[in-house]
Amino acid sequence: MRMIVGSAPGFPHGIIDPIEELGELACSYGVCLHVDLCLVTEWSGGLYVSPTTAGSRPGGLIAGAWAALMPLGLEGATMYLSLVAYPKVPLNAYMTIVAIGSNDLDIFEVNDIMTSKGWHLNALQRPNSIHSYVTLQHAPVFEDYLGDLRESVRTVKENPGPISGGLAQIYGAAGKIPDRGMVG
């Protein structure tokens, strides 16, 4: 079977593929189009089969989020969500996923330094990058995060080569292996 796959959004970077254009392309070649909507709940698909009722998410987290939002009501939740959409940061992402990459420095070294400062980002490959979700929790510490990120980038730029002693070398080496079957 041949098919075209699009993401709306892609989990690593929050980028939404041009789904309508992909649909036209799929029709012109007579192939299927699969759209992965991994971060939304409203979809036109059928049943989502999972070994548990919570799917891949822990049920306690869902219940906690629901319990926290219920007293706020729609108006209160909307107000708090507006705090997450921080207006001083120009992003091209359509979701609250922020991915950071660089051609000029080892982004995994930046990640290791950020980890040592208490931040938890996800390391990604192809292309090498790191990402995080921006949520209401981040609003009060956003300036601290940006300051630590700037300092981490500056440290890596001023000290080329392995410096952190963390997982940067592992992620960097795994990302350079051309045969993905060797990685797993």
DSSP 7: E
Q: How far apart are the C-alpha atoms of 136 and 100, rounded to whole Å?
A: 20
Q: In this predicted structure, what is the pLDDT of residue 122?
A: 86
- Superfamily for 87-182? Aspartate Aminotransferase, domain 1 (3.90.1150.10)
CA dist 77 → 17, 56, 74, 86 (Å): 28, 24, 5, 15
Q: Which two tokens stand for residue 160?
A: 């080329």
Phi and psi, residue 181, nearest 5°: -65, -25
| Residues forming beta bridges with residue 131, ordered by sequence position | 99, 122
Question: Is this structure's pTM higher than 0.75?
Answer: no
Q: In this predicted structure, what is the pLDDT of residue 89?
A: 40
Q: In this predicted structure, what is the pLDDT of residue 37?
A: 76
Q: In this predicted structure, what is the pLDDT of residue 85?
A: 47
| Orientation of helix 168-176 relative to helix 107-116, angle to 10° | 150
Q: How far apart are the C-alpha atoms of 80 and 136, rounded to whole Å?
A: 7
Q: Which amino acid, one-letter code, is at 31?
A: V
Q: In this predicted structure, what is the pLDDT of residue 179?
A: 58
Q: In this predicted structure, what is the pLDDT of residue 95?
A: 64
Identify the segments of the chain with pLDDT beneath 50. 47, 85-91
Q: In this predicted structure, what is the pLDDT of residue 20?
A: 94
Q: Which two tokens stand for residue 63?
A: 């219940």
Pairing of strands 122-124, 129-133: antiparallel
CB 123 within 8 A of CB 171: yes
Q: In this predicted structure, what is the pLDDT of residue 90?
A: 40
| Domains in the chain: boundaries | 3-36, 51-84, 87-182
